[in-house]
Chains A and B, each alone.
Chain A
């Protein structure tokens, strides 16, 4: 299959790719119809795909038109959580390789009415990383999808494409489990997103260089925390300092703690929000937690979302709670 015609993103942005993370990358984006969520978290195996599949199922069952995008380009497996066989079906690879021009045509049906899925880049023979232009094209196309809610299932780690998708969402979710390794990776993810968000909001080249330096925690300038960075920026350019403050005030990801076993681990979510407040100076939202539940692995094994396979389980209740909080559904 070879597509013809010019991709829409080439016709609109060719020759003028925005600087990485710059706000002007998205200025031309048409008004959003679909609300866009992105679910990330830094570490692999913490239940991001499980959460995405179940959040989407709850939203679809409440009457919303939902499209999922498996943006884990190197390890796509969201389809399995939904009972979909990937096989040779159309995927993000076909969109990135320009074999399919219309993103809507890449979204395949799932067994759940109202819920469609854009498969990850299966069979992508080249490197899984995408170019800035490809990401911009995808993000613009997402905003034109006929859906009420689009959810990105992000890869583990903090690579540029993952953070870009996270920042482009209306709501970014950071998932962790109560384990130290997962929490450490969650902070690394937040840190990467925060600094990239800053780099996008501030335009002075000296300030952007300062942010680049600050991203290395062992930098020679002695900038340890975002508070230190703010002080350094204000010395350079008070107006940029004011923009920095606006970023701090408006950067508000949601936190979900998965596999919680007791009250102590529920409190971990409050602790993480406290650390974010005292370290980054940002006010993240503890959107909820999912309790450890044997029905979760049973549902994954059955390749059915928990909320359908075990709708009365505690895990399903807490997934519904998060959707209700965010969508009122």
Chain B
């Protein structure tokens, strides 16, 4: 069962994995801020403005610690001391057993608690059967994770124009191959994908498409 807000760890408050990278913490924080902001359509009909403000204060407090490497290390040490389970890696969710929701309480094993922000579901239908990572596939995976192009640009320092060209498969507007590979690897890292494989796949597909066009 999810613990009450007042008892939740900073990771639970942000719904970020305890072993999450700084990028994952950042992403979880952005989603949390958006969820409980005064203009949010997700929270307003459930929580009052005061309740949202209180949640946001806790979220900001969590982020202030987890986004600072030293503070996070100190916090992790305190947390490990208080609750050794906090570092148990999160598990991928499996399809639920065929059992009515009503009956599960009595029969089903209790699933492990999930703390992590969304992970790429690359075997869940976003990569076509041919396994090629072209611009469309990279865009779909990015969007499925709720990551804006601007966030990738801010993290990687890659110009947004180049990012758009990569996602649109506008090969004639791409930077020289040596830069392109580096860009693709950085994008792949932001999406928690295999950087080498994405760079190889994208550039191979680009060469084939260009050769066909010529």
Contacts and interface: CB of A to CB of B under 8 A. Distances in A.
Is B a genuine binding partner of A? Answer: yes
A326 B104 CA distance: 17
B19 to A, nearest CB: 19
B213 to A, nearest CB: 20
A275 B95 contact: no
A246 interface: yes
Contacts of B4: 227, 281
A292 interface: no
A84 interface: no
B148 interface: yes
B31 A253 contact: no
Given A170-B98, A321-B124, A184 B103 contact: no
A172 interface: yes
Interface in B21-65: 31-32, 34-35, 40-47, 55
Interface size class of A (residues with CB under 8 A): 35 or more
Interface stretch (B74-82, B139-147, B174-182, B195-203): B139-147
A327 interface: yes
Interface string A248-274: 111111000000001110111011101
B125 A317 contact: yes
B111 A275 contact: no
Interface size class of B (residues with CB under 8 A): 35 or more
B108 A250 contact: yes
A240 interface: no
Contacts of B103: 23, 26
Name the residue in A249, A262, A270, A282 with the highest tally of chain B Cβ atoms < 10 Å from its Cβ. Answer: A270
Interface in B119-149: 121, 124-126, 140, 142-144, 146-148
Interface of A: 21, 23, 26, 32, 35-36, 166-172, 178-180, 183-184, 187, 193, 197, 200-201, 227, 243, 245-253, 262-264, 266-268, 270-272, 274-275, 277-279, 281-283, 285-286, 289, 317-318, 320-321, 324-328
Q: Which 4 A-B pairs have the closest CB atoms?
A: A321-B125, A271-B42, A267-B146, A271-B35
